[in-house]
Amino acid sequence: MNLLIKSATIIDKSQPSLHLKKRDILIEKGLIQAIGVRIEAGKKTRVIELKNLHVSPGWFDSSVSFGEPGYEERETISNGLEVAASAGFTGIVLNTNTHPSPDTSGDIVFLKETGKGHSTSLYPMGTVSMGANGAELSEMYDMSLSGAVAFSDYKHALDNPNLLKLALLYTQNFDALVYSFPQDGQLSPKGQMHEGEVSMRLGLRGIPTLTEELRIARDLAILQYTGGKLHIPTISTASSVNLIAAAKKNGLDVSCSVAIHHLWFTDEVLDGFDSRYKTLPPLRGKKDSKALQKALAEGVIDFVTSDHCPLDVEEKRREFDQAAFGALGLEESFGVLNQIYGPEVASEILGRGRKRFGLAEAKLAAGQPAELTLFDPEAEYTLSRESLLSTSGNSMFLGIPLKGKAYGIIRGEKTSI
């Protein structure tokens, strides 16, 4: 199917001659054939004309959870990829919190096959350890050959330092990326939220910033010793930013991400014991949130993630200390970032990350494969449970006015619009 996008404002700072210009974009057989002021539609060409249409290179998310296999009631891969496409993401990296955990090449093949045929590309991760139990290395090389783009035990911290050392050494043989979740659980047994004034007032066990910062310092020391490629997902404190910035200056191959909810909320929203705001890492204080916003804009934090984690209502509607950690994020991402940074910076941030996983960058240029996000940065709406496309409803942003909404995506010959 050929497509002609009409009168779209292009948002792409890497293309100075096109950035912020209104142009038509012709796509034939999945390739961008032409970008011009006025292009006439040929036969068998579908014309896309939308209100206040903006187009950018396709957005990418490095930490997305669905439920399949094992927890399909939370979200199937099929429905999750439809949610991602409607939210503007042309590619997502799938987390390993499934049952069973993907720790063999067969598991990776299953995930890739299940994700085929959708507008959004699915890139699976494999676990670092067998069963994500932190004891012995998984079949990392075989999984890499089958299409795993990185290795992560999701939010199970790699408590055994020797396991991380071995993983970083071993994966250098095939240039793979290792995730290490930044939390030392022994410093916060049964912790429920950020340790501070609010946790003391509510009488909830706290998770101090020290749990994250000590683990990052340890992991960076191991990385300096071994070499390799390390990714630290969803950092949440100002000191974590400083540690990673210093490591990068020293030449270590380390990257990090931040979740959208850590840019928007602070621990003050937990005054009502609402478990929708219960996440790991926990929501921190204002100083941390501001530091994270600044570091993301400056590139010290490499990329943002929705940290999308659908959960059953039964897992959230419990006493706060019994409720599960996690929140939705795909459908909220652009609206949040657009209000913090504006559409130009928000689109640039959402486009980051592919290179770190060895994936081709999305490029908005003639001759390139079409991988585009279409959106309206001025669209105003209030997210409701009824408007969510996700089959779970555990969003922090329900009832909050947002500005900026994706129309959908075009990737190759597939489109969600």
The catalytic residue among 175, 307, 312, 376 is 307
Which residues partner with 258 through β-bridges?
A: 304
Q: What distance, in Å, lies between the first and last C-alpha atoms of the chain?
A: 13
Vertex 304: Cα angle to 172 and 61 (nearest 5): 70
Q: Which residues contact 36 (CB under 8 A, 6 or more apart)?
A: 23, 24, 26
- Tell me the one-letter amino acid at 197: E
| Rounded Cα gap, residues 369 and 145, in angstroms | 24
Secondary structure (3-state) at 52: coil
Buried/exposed code over 82-110 (b: 16+ C-beta within 10 A; e: otherwise): bbbbbbbbbbbbbbbbbeebbbbbebbeb
Asked if 223 and 168 touch (Cβ cutoff 8 Å), the reply is yes
| Rounded Cα gap, residues 124 and 231, in angstroms | 16
Q: How far is CA 205 from the centre of its chain?
A: 28
274 given a catalytic annotation: no
Q: Which has the closest alpha carbon to 8: 67, 41, 52?
A: 52
| Rounded Cα gap, residues 338 and 397, in angstroms | 14
Known catalytic residues?
A: 307
